[in-house]
Amino acid sequence: MGTAEGVMARFRWGMIHGRFQPFHQGHLTYLREALSRSDLLLVGITNPDPSTIVVEEADPQRHRPEANPFTFHERLRMVKETLMDERIDLRRVDIIPFPVHHRDLWAYYVPSGTVQFIRVFSAWGREKVQRLQETGLTVEVLDPGAEKEISGDEVRRRMIHGLDWEELVPPAVARMIHAIHGVERLRQIIAQGEHVLP
CATH architecture of 11-192: 3-Layer(aba) Sandwich (3.40)
What is the phi/psi pair of residue 172, to 5°?
-60, -35
In the chain, where are the structural domains located?
Answer: 11-192
Residue 154 CA to residue 131 CA, distance in Å, equals: 27
Amino acid at 134: E
**Residue 141 host element (H or E):** strand 138-141
**Residue 157 host element (H or E):** helix 152-160
Percent of the chain with pLDDT over 90: 71
- The answer for residues whose C-beta is within 8 angstroms of residue 17's C-beta and 6 or more apart is 43, 44, 45, 46, 98, 100, 116, 118
- CA–chain centroid gap for 149, Å, is 14
Q: Is the per-residue pLDDT at 196 higher than 50?
A: no
Residue 52 CA to residue 45 CA, distance in Å, equals: 11
Bridge-partner residues for 95, per DSSP?
43
DSSP code for 164: -
Which range has the worst mean pLDDT, 50-59, 61-70, 101-110, 130-139?
50-59
At 44-86, the pLDDT tens digits run 999 998 877 777 676 657 778 899 999 999 999 999 999 999 9
How many helices, marked H, and strands, marked E, lie in the chain?
Answer: 7, 5
Q: Which pLDDT band, with edges at 50, 70 and 90, does 88 fall under?
A: very high
The β-bridge relationship of strands 115-118 and 93-97 is unpaired
